[in-house]
Amino acid sequence: MSDESLGLQHSRAWRLWLVCGLLVLIAVAIITKLVLLYTYDREFLQTQGDKRTIRTMQVPAHRGVITDRNGEALAVSAPVAAVWVNPQNIDITDPKLKILAKLLGKKSNAVLRKIKQNYKKEFIYLKRQVLPDLAKKVIALQIKGVNVDREYKRYYPAGEVTTHLVGFTGIDGAGQEGIELAYEQALLGVPGKKLVMKDRLGNVIKHIKLLESAESGQDVTLSIDLRLQYLAYKELKSAVKSHRADSASVVVLDIKTGEVLAMVNQPSYNPNDRSVLTGEQLRNRALTDVFEPGSTVKPFTITAALMSGKYDRESVVDTTPGYMLVKGKRIKDFRNYGKLSITRIITKSSNVGVTKLALSLEPDRMHDLFSNVGIGQTPSTGFPGERSGVLPYYSDRQVIERAVMSYGYGLSVTPIQLAQAYAVLANQGVKIPVSLLKIDSPPRGVRVIPAEIANDVVTMMETTTQADKGGTGRKAAIFGYRVAGKTGTARKAKRGGYDLDKYISVFAGITPASNPRIAVVVMVNNPKGQQYSGGGVAAPIFSRVTAGALRMLNISPDQWPKTKPSTNPKLQNSPVAVQHGQ
């Protein structure tokens, strides 16, 4: 072997030993480091790991705002906090837990017991919807295992005035009643996600990055005018108290658009404090409670008769002697009115007159017209629990049933259905869908009554509120405006018949009669004062609510007084002068 080959061989051997030596040193270094990590540095590293943990957190979505038609807030979300604990990561001997319990308004024993009972869980709430200032005090305690997360609480600025329509959300922010429930998906929004670093106590110490942005819920604009809502609520609440009624409802409807401008009920409740809430208070009676409408359906019986071609507005019906027998049942009027024109039948609210008209028609005439104006049909507003009422079909042989239906018994309606029906007459026979939401342009309607007949019936209904005509709804009159309407007084149904001492008092009307803009229905359930009739109980409420609505909506008067106003300053400023021109 040459010297050159031998030198090359030695060089390769030296390099190999060098590489092997380096690998051994690296291995020794790694092993040494591992030993150190598992012995000397283990506690330190564990502590540092506990102090810093990367987590993905949910970013709450802001629930949409509910407003009235003018942008006034009816439901808004305010930021609050939720205090929760991890029972597996908390020291129940920590003395600061007593301070925490006091801050949250709870007994310390109750808090400790709750933690102990849920020791297998990793998450339990101590208190939800905590105010931000209180949440800061909880965080400042620095109690291991106690955490604070952000959430939202729903607040209702108008309180009990709008609660039956707006509804409310539960503690988790989901809609429970009303519009909050009906439009849950639109209002809800989509939560986002973010990456954060938390310390060993669960507190966020660093926001790393936003993974997904939260999408706020859609705002919902209702059709109601909060000014009208307050007015109607105040008048209804006062009337229910003075008449000691069980319940009541008022609906104000825009005739041209079908929008609900006001919808109030009694009894009501405060949605911001539901600690004493009962089932009776919850219902939106204007949409869910049905009643027999009594004489308020007589204009539609008259309409059906006119549409049959057998009668016109000058036709005369003999109601002598003030009563009649139908299959052995006595149907009577307040007194013997003798011969009445079609107009006077409405003016005097003659049961005998409408019964004779109804029985002279084919069985389906009256039924079909009632159905076409919305009676017995779901209003389709989208409100949870809205009712369709009851509209039976009676054959030719069911004479007594057809007779009593002509003056409002044997069928049932909701206040909103009755308001829609009257809006059809006011809109020259065109039916417009009812809407609880503000609409930009009036929807297309469907004609269900000839315009000439609808206008004639409205003119007839004006006599109901005219004192010189002896109408039953004189107390519904509004100074400066022509009012067309009808009173209704129906006995309350009970098992086996009707209660002779309990009544439903109703007034339904439209104004200004020359160019109708609003339809208003007032229903009072079981008034217990001296007055119980629709003309004595519901009509005055109609007058006060509608007079205020006309002013607020800036609707011009269509009937100026023929006599000069009183010069007496006291009378000029009194409510009597405003209502009756004294």
Catalytically active residues are 295
Contact 489, 533 (CB under 8 A): yes
Extended beta strands in 29-174, E state: 53-59, 66-67, 73-85, 124-130, 146-155, 168-169
Rounded to whole angstroms, the Cα distance separating 267 from 280 reads 7
Rounded to whole angstroms, the Cα distance separating 492 from 474 reads 24
Residue with tokens 């308004």, as numbered in its chain: 105
Evaluated on CA atoms 138, 143, 146, 147, the torsion sign reads positive
Nearest-CA neighbor of 531 among 494, 500, 503?
Answer: 503
Rounded to whole angstroms, the Cα distance separating 537 from 514 reads 26
Rounded to whole angstroms, the Cα distance separating 540 from 524 reads 12
How big is the chain by its Cα radius of gyration, in Å? 37
Could you give the residue ranges of the DSSP H alpha helices within 436-503? Answer: 451-462
CA-to-CA separations, 350 to 463, 464, 561, in angstroms, rounded: 14, 12, 30
Residue 520 is inside which H or E element, if any? strand 518-525
Contact 269, 163 (CB under 8 A): yes
Q: Return the SS3 of 160.
A: helix
| 66-67 and 220-221 beta bridge pairing | parallel
**Single-letter code of the amino acid located at 352:** V
Contact 185, 215 (CB under 8 A): no
CA-to-CA separations, 295 to 353, 456, 464, 505, in angstroms, rounded: 12, 18, 12, 10
Rounded to whole angstroms, the Cα distance separating 488 from 535 reads 8
526: left (phi over 0), alpha (psi -120 to 50) or beta: left
Rounded to whole angstroms, the Cα distance separating 104 from 127 reads 7
Nearest-CA neighbor of 92 among 123, 74, 116?
Answer: 116
Which DSSP string corresponds to 98-128?
A: HHHHHHTT--HHHHHHHHHHTTT-S-EEEEE
